[in-house]
Amino acid sequence: MSTGTPHSETFLELPGPVVGTGWLAGHLGDPRLVLVDASSTLNRTDEAIPGALLLDLDGPFSDPSAELPHTMPAAGRLTAAARALGISRSSTVVAYDGKGLFASARVWWMLRAAGFDRVAVLDGGLPAWAAEGRPVGVHADPPAEPGDVELVPQEGFFVGADDVADALEEPGAVVLDARSAGRFAGTEPEPRPGLRPGHMPGAVSLPYTQLQGPDGRLLPLPELRARIAAAAPEGRRVVTSCGSGLTACVLALGAHLAGRTEVSVYDGSWAEWGRPGPRPVAGPG
């Protein structure tokens, strides 16, 4: 990890990019842990896991000058937003979501894309936590003292529309679409006005919900690997897309857990590609 300190023995180490409710319960209150609620505005509630800070993916953790939602901000803005939540070089970050696993993977992907690897998502999010009768409260206030993390963008994590167009024509690449099957087919309306219905010609539909069980937790690893391999055969690099760059990161998380090493997220996703313009769209009918 590029932002670490020499005293690695003082770090709160993670078991992997996904942690369970039991692990989190055992580490609540640890000063090295920064717990964030990354729920989108659609899924946000007043209830929170004790000690959780609200991380706003529509606010400080996106680029205000971009025309598209949830655009990865520049390093300076991202660093300032992370520091305001108390994230330091020695911190360990766990993100969760009010829906289960929807937007929290975006935090995992963004921080890794900026060189910070000690970050994980809570499997099943707030619903899994609450279903086990674990305590809930209200969101904590941001710390008085900011953190000292320094976030530096890394190559290859995010790609643009031209890169996606190239990947669609490349035999060794697969573009996975995390939207629902109906939105992919163009038979369900897009939630954002003005976007064309359908999908990128050559893209493969893999709704992010297909990587989760009925309880909102990720599928067991063998099943997860099988779902990823069925959509993106082994040996091919993976580019993930969705509506606005949130659930594409769920597919990126699944691909990472399945052992895929060449994975990128299309930051603009359908909010960009689906706008009226020259990009080809395979629509209904």
Q: Are 164 and 95 in contact (CB under 8 A)?
A: no
Q: Spell out, as residue ranges, where the chain has pLDDT lower than 70.
A: 1-9, 285
pLDDT score of 2: 34
Delineate the domains of the chain, giving CATH numbers in brackets: 8-131 (3.40.250.10), 158-273 (3.40.250.10)
Measure the CA–CA gap between 244 and 171, rounded to whole angstroms: 25
Catalytic status, residue 249? no
| Catalytic one of 18, 224, 238, 242 | 242
pLDDT score of 73: 97
pTM of the model: 0.95
Hey, how many other C-beta atoms are within 10 angstroms of the C-beta on 160? 12
Instruction: Dig out the tokens for 216 from the structure.
Output: 């909102």
Q: Per-residue pLDDT tens for 118-144?
A: 999 999 999 999 999 999 999 999 999
What percentage of the chain's residues is helix, strand, coil (to nearest 5)? 30, 15, 55
pLDDT score of 7: 40
pLDDT score of 246: 97
Measure the CA–CA gap between 276 and 260, rounded to whole angstroms: 33
Facing residues of 35 across strands? 94
pLDDT score of 8: 44
